[in-house]
Structure 1
């Protein structure tokens, strides 16, 4: 039987800031370790992001100066599993949202926390952040996506070094490898992530979603099918009211007003 979660306040908080959904893992006493309740709440928040037409971008972060230290091992031993069926570890790693999701990283993003970060599209990190996949040190496997996704994000030899040694790397090294989009001062990751999210949110929402779909799926398309697959996703955007509004606003030298259709 799964233990009843009673931590006095939500394990995940969700707020909206000008069309941006901010999802905060809120267990700072355990470095935002993921238990079943956290996973289910993240899954619900991601579903809200995709289903609410007013929301354009999501930001995932952690409270108390830590992004996420991974799986809550005590909860796991008690039978509280941090996976959601069909959505993966933390309710996210197997099925990320259709809309852009930005990780705002302070402190540790290790083990499952690193895998949550890899499920995001963009990463803003404090210079004091640290990243790692230490599962092999505990004789386990990074089964939340790191073993599969990390070699797709950075050179294979470097990914294997991280995966096989279990050692952490600094935020600056992660930025050099292309894992981090923007480095910030300590305590500034969320504010910079919100600035980046606002820039994305100002663009045509249908175009943003379709562009992410194409960029994420293209590696799986064959050379014979890639143009037809891209056309399948892009053509409805060209024919949308938003596309007409974008061209009209540009010609009239004014800010566009998006309709989401």
Structure 2
């Protein structure tokens, strides 16, 4: 089933909302009761949202935002994910310059922690931050294994080390003004103005030819893409689906039963 084109998935109480207004698609994290902690279903729907955005003839720009007081506290540590899908949270990252070429703006407020940093800052083309934004990286405290080099290119060398090692501690959080000085966000505005400002930036992008944006994004992300991330994307997008597909088992069964296989997946 293609979740991106299944209207039954995009309900008002889903963990991710998708709405288009005036050629702008608003992709909204919708678990405010748990400060938008990211679980497997949210990651699945975000992956589908990027597919939907790229294919959507009514939308030329996307805004990633969140309901509630906080953008996201990152990975939902209470979730017991028995899906067996590797890197499931990573699968929801916007595939900028790979399969997503429409511009994507992040609009962030409150806590932006751990994996949420990857979505809202590393994962968007431009980021608008409310003045109450607090960026942290609690993975060190929680003992979550991650590939640290993925966070380095967006920060000065010394700051990247501090962020990776100590950005879970209150005195080491990065506030909105500091994030702007480091070049992590493009603009800081009062909380009440966040969505208006993100929409204003989106409207400016509506005046840029889409093919020009596609060319810029393709070149920019190709130059920035890290080899380990490419390997991870290739594994998740191509190798893993083949490993768990019905066709793989059908090929094995047909081999031992000495018959022609009947494949169903494309």
Distance of aligned partners of 1:45 and 1:66 in 2 relative to their CA distance in 1, 3 Å threshold: same
Residue 133 of structure 1: how far off its partner (Å): 1.2
Name the Cα RMSD after superposition. 2.4
Distance of aligned partners of 1:73 and 1:219 in 2 relative to their CA distance in 1, 3 Å threshold: closer
- Residue 205 of structure 1 corresponds to 210
Residues 39 and 83 of structure 1 are in contact (CA less than 8 Å); yes or no, is this contact kept in structure 2?
A: no
Structure 1: runs of 5 or more not aligned? 222-261
- In the TM superposition, what whole-angstrom CA distance separates every residue of 1:47-72 from its partner, at most 9, and x where no partner exists? 01111233211110110121111111
- Residue 155 of structure 1 corresponds to 156
Residues 93 and 118 of structure 2 are in contact (CA less than 8 Å); yes or no, is this contact kept in structure 1?
A: no
Residues 36 and 72 of structure 2 are in contact (CA less than 8 Å); yes or no, is this contact kept in structure 1?
A: yes
Runs of 4+ with deviation above 4 angstroms = 80-85
Name which of 101, 113, 116 aligns with 1:113. 116
1:191 aligned to 2:213?
no
Residue 11 of structure 1: how far off its partner (Å): 1.1
Distance of aligned partners of 1:43 and 1:219 in 2 relative to their CA distance in 1, 3 Å threshold: closer
Residue 220 of structure 1: how far off its partner (Å): 6.3
Distance of aligned partners of 1:150 and 1:179 in 2 relative to their CA distance in 1, 3 Å threshold: same
Distance of aligned partners of 1:65 and 1:31 in 2 relative to their CA distance in 1, 3 Å threshold: same
Matches within 5 A, 1:70-219: 70-75=74-79, 77-79=80-82, 89=90, 91-92=92-93, 95-96=95-96, 97-117=100-120, 118-143=122-147, 147-166=148-167, 167-219=172-224
Distance 1:24 1:197 in 2: 15
**For 1:187, what is the secondary structure of its paired residue?**
helix
- In the TM superposition, what whole-angstrom CA distance separates every residue of 1:206-246 from its partner, at most 9, and x where no partner exists? 1111111112223569xxxxxxxxxxxxxxxxxxxxxxxxx
Distance of aligned partners of 1:109 and 1:155 in 2 relative to their CA distance in 1, 3 Å threshold: same
Residue 142 of structure 1: how far off its partner (Å): 3.7
Matched positions, count: 209
Structure 2: runs of 5 or more not aligned? 1-8, 227-266
**For 2:65, what is the secondary structure of its paired residue?**
strand
Q: TM-score, normalised by structure 2?
A: 0.72
Name which of 41, 58, 64 aligns with 2:45. 41
- Residue 64 of structure 1 corresponds to 68
Q: TM-score, normalised by structure 1?
A: 0.73
Distance 1:213 1:49 in 2: 17
Residues 130 and 176 of structure 2 are in contact (CA less than 8 Å); yes or no, is this contact kept in structure 1?
A: yes
Distance 2:209 2:69 in 1: 33
Residue 20 of structure 1: how far off its partner (Å): 1.1
